[in-house]
Amino acid sequence: MADEWSSSLDVHLDWTPGLGRKGLAKAVRQAIRDGRWRPGSVVPSTRALAHDLGVARGTVTRVYSDLAAEGYLQTSQGAPTRVATAGAQPLTQPRPIASREPAMRWNLMAGRPDAALFPRDIWLASTKRVLQHTHNETFGYGEPRGSSVLRATLSAYLGRSRGVLADPARIVICSGFAHAMTILGNALQSVGIQEMAFEDPSFNRFRDLAGATGQKIVGVPVDGNGMRISELTSPAVVVTPAHQSPIGVTMSPDRRATLTQTGAVIVEDDYDGEFRYDRQQVGALQALAPERVIYAGTASKTLAPSLRLGWLVLPRSLVDPVIAALATSGAQPSLLDQLTLADMISTGAYDRHVRRCRIEYRSRRDRLAAALPQHLIPQGISAGLHLMVPLSEAAEAQVPTVARRHSLAVATVSPMSMGEKRHGLVVGYGASSKNAFGGALDALLNVLRELQD
Ligand SMILES: Cc1ncc(COP(=O)(O)O)c(C=O)c1O
């Protein structure tokens, strides 16, 4: 019985029983000409196709032999019938999706971890454990706010590692910070907030996502002590207090305290809080005011952006609006991945992985900082996966052309500015593989040598 259906394939044919044998031949011919039945591919067995269409097997056999005679099909004794290579029209090639980055040999783009550091073995071991022990419910839709197992695990982990006060009931799992921007833009609208302030400069993408929800987006300048809180007037604000993106400074303790007293809803983007190299970690702002601060974390730097896994720790009053916005966003990270991450954290494998990455990124940062020409002083603290090198306006303007000549992908600051333009390079030392980092660094130094003030 199994053999009988072994060559059964689901196929679509524009054919109805009223069209008869000729109509069936025409439909198969058309499928081949359109390229829907690909040259060289096996066609359904006569028995299977006859069954699926509800016609006599002999009808399909005759159609196949007619089409073989016409050169559309290839039949041979003892082998399955295939579409002949002649007769089919070539499919139009899908247009390549425009890449946001030019294809350069060396990559120092900010915000990317080294994909080669992804702990494949550990992820595999955790996935295996999850699949061996999980209930069948895991294969259903799951809880809208995210796996209770991951939320409980994150509650303990965030308290221990970042000082976050995180009751599992106030944690929501989302598809990274980008998704959080859409969810929070909508959730804040639902509680009457229609304006969100962002640090100036900051990554445009997150501002655009929040703006697309109808929020008015306002910039507040950043200086050496972080966002200038005295200039903040919006009812909600997105900040990167532990390591400003892209400038790299830490928000000063008095500004942190003042910010929590402004009355604004604060979104704390703790995107690289795990990577601190030259001083004690700066604890999360959230601990100062858990009813005012939305803490946002992500697996994009410690593991991989492709996981699309992030988490929010919410003030009590925002839990329901955020869950409602999450539900209408239509997106949710895979429950299996959530459980895998929970397993990694609870077995200690995640901490060990983060420590290994910290050592690697720290050594790259030290190499980079030591190699920079003396007159270029990186701004900010030793942390994260990027550093900012201030440049003059004239020098920054030459970067795209000179970097292209050296096949180097690297970002500049002024496109991230909203008001007064800041100028410089944002050098990401995570994006390269370990082996390519030396070459990328040489390319950067060559670029810097050629820039003229
Ligand atoms: C400032 C900042 N926040 C958050 C993220 C993480 O975004 P996501 O979780 O959507 O990958 C990044 C990643 O580049 C970032 O640079």
Tell me how far the alpha carbon of residue 248 is from its chain's centroid. 22
Backbone angles phi, psi at 164, to 5 degrees: -80, 135
Cβ atoms of 212 and 184 within 8 Å: the answer is no
The CB of 72 under 6 Å from ligand 1? The reply is: no
Residue 94: pLDDT band with limits 50, 70, 90:
low
Q: What pLDDT shows up at residue 324?
A: 97
Give the mean model confidence (pLDDT) for residues 308-318. Answer: 98
CA of 94 to the centre of ligand 1 (A): 30
Ligand 1 and 203: CB distance under 6 A: yes
**Amino acid 13: pLDDT:** 86
Q: Is residue 2's pLDDT more than 60?
A: no
Ranking 84-88, 336-340, 352-356 by mean pLDDT, the lowest is 84-88
What percent of the chain is modeled with pLDDT above 90? 79
Q: Is 302 in the pocket of ligand 1 (CB under 6 A)?
A: no
Q: Is 312 in the pocket of ligand 1 (CB under 6 A)?
A: no
Arithmetic mean of pLDDT over the chain = 92
Domains and CATH numbers, the chain: 3-83 (1.10.10.10), 106-112+351-450 (3.90.1150.10), 127-348 (3.40.640.10)
pLDDT tens figures, 241-279: 999 999 999 999 999 999 999 999 999 999 999 999 976
The answer to whether residue 3 scores a pLDDT higher than 50 is no
pLDDT value at position 399? 97
Q: Lowest-confidence range among 75-84, 114-123, 230-239, 390-399?
A: 75-84
- At residue 422 the predicted structure's pLDDT band, cuts being 50, 70 and 90, is very high
Contact status, residue 213 vs residue 182, Cβ threshold 8 Å: yes
90 confidence band (pLDDT: 50, 70, 90): low
What pLDDT was estimated at residue 20? Answer: 86
Q: What is the pLDDT of residue 89?
A: 58
178 ligand 1 Cβ < 6 A: yes
Element (H, E) at 93: none
pLDDT at 286: 97
Looking at residue 75, its pLDDT comes to 85
Q: 23 alpha carbon to ligand 1 midpoint, in Å?
A: 56
Query: What is the per-residue pLDDT for 6?
Result: 47
Which H or E element spans position 30? helix 20-33
Closest CA relative to residue 223, chosen from 256, 186, 249, 245: 249
* CA 383 – CA 241 distance, rounded (Å): 12
Residue in this structure with the two tokens 């190499």, named with its chain if needed: 367
C-alpha angle 274-275-278 in degrees, rounded to nearest 5: 125
Could you tell me the distance, in angstroms and rounded to a whole number, from the CA of residue 110 to the centre of ligand 1?
A: 10
| pLDDT average, residue stretch 341-363 | 97
**Angle between the N-to-C axes of helices 349-371 and 335-346, in degrees from 0 to 180, rounded to the nearest 10:** 90
**Residue 280's pLDDT is what?**
66
Residue 5 has pLDDT above 50, yes or no: no
Q: How far is the CA of 268 from the centre of ligand 1 (A)?
A: 12
Given ligand 1 and candidates 112, 222, 272, 298, which is best to mutate, with the most ligand atoms within 8 Å of its CB? 298
**Comparison of pLDDT for 406 and 97, the residue scoring more:** 406
Q: Looking at ligand 1, which residue's alpha carbon is closest to its atom 3?
A: 271
Say whether pLDDT at 64 is over 50.
yes
pLDDT value of residue 102: 57
List the residue whose alpha carbon is closest to atom 7 of ligand 1: 177
CA of 183 to the centre of ligand 1 (A): 15
